[in-house]
Amino acid sequence: MNIKHIAFSLALLLLLSACSGGESNGEDNAETQVPEEPAVSVSVVPAAVTALQGWQYSQGTARSLRREYLTFTEQGKVTFVDQDLRVGMPVAEGQLIAHQAPGRLEAELASARASLNEAEASLSLARVTQNRYETLVNQRSASAQELDEARVEVEQALATRDNARAQIAQAEVMLEESRLVSPIDGVLARLNIEQGRYFMPSTVDTSSEQGALQTVPALVIDPSHFEVRLDLPSYNFDRVEVGARAIIGGRPPQHADSLDPEMLGESEIGEIHAISPSVDPQSRTFEIIIRTTSDNPRLQDGAFVAVWMAEPEKKQALSVPFNALRFLNDQAFVFVFDEESGRVEERSVQLGQQAGERREVLEGLSPGEQVVTEGRTRLNDGDRVTLIEGQP
């Protein structure tokens, strides 16, 4: 090998060595460089002390407070139904709706009254006879036995008169029960009879409300006041009380002083009228009765409605927006923003009452601490964050 070849080989080796050393240094420098940690964009709000109004939710059926089911007690032909009366029309107290054939009952009433007149005449004669015998006994012109017999006749006449009066009362009741008369001022809600048809009391189904509505001859309701009966689980017994306000339909406001009828839309305001102290052993629920407080509420008899019942209001409660909360294994937590480090801390919290879009925090937060609302689903404990533009 000549000198030129040797020199070329040495130069090539030096060049390869230099290239190898440069690549090694570059890799070492890449390993020592730490990439900047990406920051998550979030929105935060401070935990605030506010007034919270909690609500208990349930569902029930609205019923008019006064409901009168009208029916005949005796079988018979329906001879009269007011042809000018329709379902949904108002009726006045004492207004005749329908009646059965009254001829027989009117005859029985007339016979009972005649019997009463005869009994009263016999009683009058028996008393005159008793007075006469009392005078004759004093004059020793009649015996004591004759006077006793006269007194017995008076007692018998009294019994006959009282029996005649009872027959009249019974005849009057039967005649009245053959007439369907509205006992209240209200609205005719049901009319299940027709003129000329034969009615039998056995056709009325009282085993259920649905059956009664379909078979009772007539139903009159008073739409000026309603009540709603509903059930709550037994563990909520201490969270409601008699006299508490209630909202029937719609959604409740966040504060108790916001119950403005003009702002509630289609909702109606009521109050808890009664709370049953007894728990149903099968459903483990107790009954609550809600009554409307305004006249002529916009409710329909028999309608299924949602009801919100006010819990005792908390004037000073630490709370956060509901969208600041996350849950894992039934444990609630929030991400608290630290302004100095620019990072978030995952912190468990104990929750209390919910009111609208806010939730009370009993433990785990202090007033003024900032919690993440938007972007919380992308966070882990200790992550670096940046606030969305417009945030404090």
pTM to 2 decimals? 0.62
- Using the predicted structure, report yes or no on whether residue 100 has a pLDDT greater than 50: yes
Helix axes 144-177 and 103-138, enclosed angle (nearest 10): 160
Query: Do residues 272 and 243 make contact, with C-beta atoms less than 8 angstroms apart?
Result: yes
Which of helix, strand or coil describes residue 17? helix
- Using the predicted structure, report yes or no on whether residue 190 has a pLDDT greater than 90: yes
At the top level of CATH, the class of 103-177 is: mainly alpha
Taking all residues of the chain, what is their mean pLDDT, rounded to a whole number? 84
CATH topology of domain 41-52+315-387: 2.40.420
> With bands split at pLDDT 50, 70 and 90, how would you rate the model's confidence at 234?
very high
pLDDT in tens, 34-84: 556 678 889 999 999 988 888 889 999 999 999 999 999 888 889 999 999
Two domains, one topology: 55-64+224-312 and 103-177: no
In terms of DSSP H, where are the helices of 93-238? 103-138, 144-177, 209-215
- Using the predicted structure, report yes or no on whether residue 287 has a pLDDT greater than 60: yes
- Using the predicted structure, report yes or no on whether residue 30 has a pLDDT greater than 50: no
pLDDT at residue 73 in the model: 87
- Using the predicted structure, report yes or no on whether residue 262 has a pLDDT greater than 50: no
Domain boundaries, the chain: 41-52+315-387, 55-64+224-312, 103-177
pLDDT at residue 253 in the model: 60
For 195, residues 6+ apart whose C-beta sits below 8 A from its C-beta are: 78, 79, 80, 81, 83, 98
At the top level of CATH, the class of 55-64+224-312 is: mainly beta
For residue 213, the one-letter residue type is L
pLDDT at residue 227 in the model: 96
Between CA 282 and CA 280 the distance in angstroms is: 6
pLDDT at residue 331 in the model: 92
Query: Do residues 96 and 112 make contact, with C-beta atoms less than 8 angstroms apart?
Result: no
Tokens matching residue 107: 């005859």
pLDDT at residue 149 in the model: 86
